[in-house]
Amino acid sequence: MPAETFKIDFTKRYVLALLLIAFLSSGAFFILHFALKTAESTALIVNISGKQRMLSQRVASLAQHYSSHVSHGNISDAKEIKISLLKAVDEMQDANNRLSTGQITEMVTFTPSTTINNLYFGKVDTKRRVDDYLRLANKLLISKNTDQYNEILYDLSMMSDTLLVDLNEIVLQYQKEGEEKIAVIQNLELIAWIITLLTLLMEVIFIFQPMANTLRTLFQKEMWNKNYLEQEIQIRTYSLEQANEKLEYSASHDPLTGLNNRLNLEHELETLISHYRENRIPFAVLMLDIDWFKKVNDNYGHDMGDFVLKDLATLIRGAIRSEDSAYRAGGEEFVIILNRISQAQAIEKAEALRQSIEEHSFVLGEIELNITISGGLYHPKWLEAMDLHEVLKLSDNALYEAKHLGRNRIVAAQTSSLELSSILSPSKTLIKVRGIRGETIAFADFDIIDLLGYSNDMLTQGIISLRDIVHPDDHDFFERLALRKPFMTTLRMLHANRNIKIIKAGCTPLKDDMWKIEMQDPILLAKSVEDTMIVQNFEAMMENTDDFIYFKDRYHVFTAGSHSLVRLTNVPIKEKLVGLTDYEVFSREYADKYFKLEKEVFSGGINVSREIQPILENNGRNGWVDNRKYPIKNKEGEIIGLFGIARIVSDLENFNGENYV
H or E element at residue 605 = none
Reply yes or no on whether the pLDDT at 651 is more than 80.
no
pLDDT in tens, 122-179: 888 888 888 888 888 888 877 777 677 777 888 787 888 788 888 888 888 888 888 8
pLDDT, tens digit, 9 for 90 and up, residues 234-248 = 777 776 676 666 656
Question: For residue 423, is pLDDT > 50?
Answer: no
pLDDT at residue number 335: 95
Taking alpha carbons only, the member of 486, 262, 483 closest to residue 388 is: 262
The rounded radius of gyration (Å) of the Cα atoms in the chain is 41
Per-chain mean pLDDT for the chain: 81
**Tell me, what amino acid is at 132?**
D
Bigger pLDDT: 420 vs 111: 111
Share of the chain above pLDDT 70, in %: 86
Residue 449: pLDDT over 70: no
Residue 174 near residue 116, CB atoms below 8 Å: yes
pLDDT at 418: 34
Across the strands, what pairs with 109?
Answer: 103
Strand partners, 517: 431, 507
Task: Please provide the size of the chain in residues.
Answer: 661
Determine the pLDDT at residue 363.
93
Q: Is the per-residue pLDDT at 331 higher than 70? A: yes
In angstroms, the CA 526 to CA 552 distance is 8
Q: Which residue has the higher pLDDT, 297 or 540?
A: 297
| Alpha helix (H) residue ranges in 586-652 | 588-602
Q: How far, rounded to the nearest angstrom, does the alpha carbon of residue 266 sit from its chain's CA centroid?
A: 38
Neighbours of 422 (CB within 10 A): 12
Which 3 state secondary structure label does DSSP give 207?
helix
What are the backbone angles phi and psi of residue 380, rounded to the nearest 5°? -65, -15
Q: Of 535, 528, 497, 558, give the one whose Cα is nearest residue 638.
A: 528
Q: How confident is the model at residue 470 (pLDDT cuts 50, 70, 90)?
A: very high
CB 582 within 8 A of CB 602: no
- Per residue in 64-75, pLDDT (tens digit) is 888 778 777 788
- Beta-bridged to residue 94, according to DSSP, are none
Q: Let me know if 217 is exposed, middle or buried by CB neighbors in 10 A (0-12, 13-18, 19+).
A: exposed
- Helix or strand holding residue 44 (H, E): helix 3-71
> Which among 390, 391, 355, 350 has a CA at the least distance from the CA of 370?
355
Half-sphere exposure of 92 (CA within 13 A, CB side): 30
Q: Are the beta carbons of 315 and 349 closer than 8 angstroms?
A: no
Q: Which pairs count as long-range contacts for 296-300, CB under 8 Å and 24+ apart, including other chains?
A: 296/369, 296/371, 300/367, 300/369
Q: What is the mean pLDDT of residues 378-390?
A: 83
- The pLDDT of residue 533 is 42
**Per residue in 305-320, pLDDT tens?**
999 999 999 999 999 9
Q: Is the pLDDT of residue 657 over 60?
A: no
Q: Is the pLDDT of residue 417 over 50?
A: no
Q: d(Cα 130, Cα 97) in Å, to the nearest integer?
A: 10
Q: Residue 168: what pLDDT?
A: 86
What are the pLDDT digits (tens) for 352-372? Answer: 999 999 999 999 999 999 999
Give per-residue pLDDT as tens, 256-285: 998 988 778 888 998 999 898 888 899 999
Q: Which domains does the chain have, with CATH numbers?
A: 3-207 (1.20.1420), 265-420 (3.30.70.270), 428-520 (3.30.450.20), 526-650 (3.30.450.20)
User: What is the rounded average pLDDT of the residues 75-96?
Assistant: 85
Of the pLDDT bands very low, low, confident and very high (cuts 50, 70, 90), residue 195 is confident
